[in-house]
Each structure stands twice: as structure tokens, then as C-alpha cells.
């Protein structure tokens, strides 16, 4: 027997600590700030939390102790942006099954604590010890030591296959900056034109400076509960309508859609995607009002659009260049500025923005009449959110 969890769970509270370049405070301190904001957002007390799911920022047991929590369900996932959807999906399962009533999902990053910027210093050196190389396609034995290496390799392949240009990719970064300029929480709010993008230095050819995530400290807390309990919280619930898990296998590469032929991928036709999250939610591609995706490197936005069937293979570059992904376009993408301009929080700020947009709380950048938002990334992981009850 199958069970469809459509709209049975909801996000009831969200909170972010302020983005800073180097807080010097540590991750648990930042998570405490984000949790306080999230609790105020939904009108709960920290004693109401009986679940703690940690995607990044410290050990779950010591964190619970330091935050003054007493939880009956807790877990800890790998510190990577691709794990945010997994964490939320597990929290939804927890509250559906009664293992917890209110689950706080938390993530934090502290560059001073981790010993370097994104992919620098000690922060990713340990990943090079993994069999076959690092977690993002790093292959130190070939000189590819930075997470951006995999994204650069994939984008070069995409350019070769589909005739995409630097200007195509520039539209992603320029759009992110335009969105961030309307976001008072964003770190990067100065104007950026296509000329500014193209004039920026190459970091890992063919990727330029503005194709990379901002380096910062910060934390997020997202509180999940059942749809029934959500009715008693302070803000209107945002329902979890559909979910799709994280894929793995030969054709799955964190920085390229299946079929592109990067790393271990086949160069033949990719496996057929079923778009399970939209099936579970009962929505079509045309009903997606907003799209959010991991954008630690700008090519990932185009790859995610294609992997999740929102654009045909090879068409996302032109789709974005035509303005469809901008505010005012047919399906705005990363309306907060994303990792490229707002700040880097392991894709968690994307979920926060989706919730705020669906609650109509985003001021100048608010998209009118939104009903459905999708968060998705490479390797399948996807969430469908809606402000419409079942």
C-alpha cells in the first residue's frame, strides 16, 4: 500500500541569522540566532521542539545540549547543499509518523572555524581522501582540487554540445544580482551589468569570479510540523506537497545533468526522469510559479532547469537569456539572489525564500499571485511547496 504525504506536513517557521563575512562566533551561536527568529516566526518556544535535524554546523547531541533542547528524534547529515531537501524530507517523515511534533532543521557555516573559504584551506582538504576523489568531482591527482572544477568541466562540455556562450551564463549571475539588490539581507547588492560579468577575471576557466558563491558566515533554522498543528502557529502554513529523493549511480554527477557525459557519466541518452515530486504534488510543469536551486556555481541553475524538465536539454541557456528566469519572467529563479549574490548557506536560504514568497512577505521582490514553488538540484532532490491546502 502506498501513502501520498501531499500537504500532510508544513513548514511553520523559518529564520536566518544575518550574513557576515567572518562572525568569529562559531556555528552554534549562529544557529541559536536563526532558531530564535524561526521560533518567533511561528509562535513557539524552544521547549516545544522535540526534533533536531542537523545538516551542518556541529554535532547534533552537543548542539541540543548547548541550545537547551530535549528532543526525542535527531539526526545528522553531511555538510553539503545537496542535503537540504533530504533533511526536510526526513523531518516530514518524522512528524507524519509521530516520532516528533516539531522538528528544527538547522544549518550553519563559519569560514573562520572551518579554516578557509568555500573549497579553500582545511574546509575541503579531507574530501580529497575519498575513494575516487572529492565529493564535488575534485580529483587532486589530475590537479582538480576545488569544487568548482567539476562545474567548470561540466559547463565546458555543455558549451561544446549546445553552442552556449559566456554571455548565456552571464545572464544567471546578472539576474541573481538584480534579485539581491531588492533583498536587504543580501551581501552583494551593488549593480552588476553583463559588461561587469564578462570583465571579471577567470577563476577556473571557463568560470569567472561572479560564477562562484559568496563566502560568508550564517545559519538557518526551518521548523517542520504536521499540517494539522500548523493551523495553530503564528504564520500561514506552507505545505510540503511533493518530494523526490537524492539519486545516485554512474549517471549522477553533482555538477552535471545525466547524459552530459562528464566524469563517470554515460554519453548516451540519460535515464528517463519521472519528476516524482510534481507527480506527488499533483502539479504540472506549467503550474510552477517559482524555481529555487543550488547555485554555488552558476551553471548549476541551467542544469537543474533541464534535469527537472522545466527546459529541454540544451535549451535552458536560451530560456534564461530570454528573461524567463528573472523577476517578472514566466518562472522567476532564486528570487533572493541565491548563493551567487545573497550569501552561501548550503541551499537552505532557498527554502526560506520559497516560504516567504508563498506567504507574500518579500516586499519589492515579491512575485504576485504565487501558489506553487519548486526547490530542486542535480541528482534529483526536489521539494514542491504550496500555500494552498489540500
Q: What is the CATH number of the domain that holds 353?
A: 3.40.47.10
Q: Is residue 4 part of a domain?
A: no
Give the residue numbers spanning the domain of 194: 9-386
Number of domains in the chain: 1
pTM: 0.93
Q: Is residue 1 part of a domain?
A: no
Give the whole-angstrom CA distance, residue 89 versus residue 84.
Answer: 9
Average of per-residue pLDDT values in the chain:
89
Q: Which three cell numbers stand for residue 83?
A: 542535503
Q: Is residue 338 part of a domain?
A: yes
Q: Is residue 245 part of a domain?
A: yes
Which stretches of the chain drop beneath a pLDDT of 70?
1-2, 112-142, 269-272
Encode pLDDT of 256-289 as tens digits: 888 888 888 888 766 667 788 999 999 999 999 9
Q: Is residue 316 part of a domain?
A: yes
Q: Is residue 2 part of a domain?
A: no
Encode pLDDT of 311-331 as tens digits: 999 999 999 999 999 999 999
Phi and psi torsions of 226, nearest 5°: -75, 160
Amino acid at each position: 500500500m502506498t501513502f501520498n504525504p501531499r500537504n500532510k506536513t508544513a513548514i511553520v517557521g523559518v529564520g536566518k541569522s544575518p550574513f557576515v563575512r567572518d562572525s568569529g562566533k562559531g556555528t552554534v551561536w549562529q544557529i541559536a540566532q536563526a532558531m530564535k527568529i524561526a521560533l518567533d516566526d511561528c509562535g513557539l518556544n524552544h521547549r516545544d521542539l522535540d526534533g533536531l535535524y542537523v545538516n551542518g554546523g556541529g554535532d547534533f547531541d552537543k548542539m541540543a545540549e548547548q541550545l537547551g533542547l530535549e528532543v526525542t528524534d535527531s539526526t545528522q547529515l553531511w555538510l553539503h547543499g545537496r542535503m537540504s531537501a533530504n533533511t526536510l524530507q526526513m523531518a516530514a517523515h518524522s512528524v507524519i509518523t509521530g516520532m516528533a511534533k516539531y522538528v528544527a532543521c538547522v544549518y550553519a557555516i563559519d569560514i573562520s572555524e572551518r579554516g578557509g573559504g568555500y573549497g579553500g584551506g582545511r574546509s575541503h582538504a579531507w574530501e580529497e581522501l575519498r575513494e575516487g576523489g572529492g565529493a564535488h568531482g575534485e580529483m587532486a591527482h589530475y590537479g582538480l582540487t576545488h569544487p568548482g572544477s567539476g562545474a567548470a568541466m561540466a559547463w565546458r562540455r555543455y558549451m561544446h554540445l549546445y553552442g552556449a556562450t559566456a554571455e548565456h551564463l552571464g545572464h544567471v549571475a546578472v539576474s541573481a544580482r538584480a534579485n539581491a539588490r531588492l533583498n536587504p539581507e543580501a551581501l552583494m547588492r551593488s549593480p552588476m551589468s553583463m559588461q561587469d560579468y564578462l570583465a571579471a577575471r577567470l577563476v577556473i576557466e571557463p568560470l569567472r569570479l561572479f560564477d562562484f558563491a559568496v563566502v560568508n558566515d550564517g545559519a538557518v533554522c526551518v521548523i517542520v510540523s504536521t499540517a494539522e498543528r500548523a493551523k495553530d502557529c503564528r504564520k500561514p502554513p506552507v505545505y510540503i506537497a511533493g518530494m523526490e529523493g537524492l539519486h545516485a549511480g554512474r549517471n549522477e554527477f553533482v555538477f552535471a545533468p545525466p547524459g552530459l557525459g562528464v566524469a563517470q557519466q554515460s554519453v548516451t541518452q540519460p535515464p528517463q526522469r519521472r519528476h516524482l515530486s510534481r507527480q506527488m504534488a499533483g502539479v504540472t510543469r506549467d503550474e510552477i510559479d517559482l524555481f529555487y536551486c543550488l547555485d554555488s556555481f552558476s551553471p548549476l541553475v541551467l542544469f537543474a532547469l533541464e534535469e527537472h524538465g522545466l527546459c529541454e536539454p540544451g535549451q535552458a541557456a536560451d530560456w534564461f537569456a530570454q528573461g524567463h528566469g528573472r523577476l517578472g519572467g514566466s518562472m522567476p529563479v532564486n528570487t533572493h539572489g541565491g548563493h551567487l549574490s545573497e550569501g552561501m548557506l548550503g541551499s537552505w536560504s532557498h527554502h526560506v525564500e520559497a516560504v516567504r514568497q508563498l506567504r507574500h512577505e518579500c516586499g519589492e521582490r515579491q512575485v504576485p499571485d504565487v501558489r506553487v514553488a519548486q526547490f530542486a538540484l542535480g541528482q534529483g532532490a526536489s521539494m514542491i511547496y504550496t500555500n494552498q491546502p489540500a
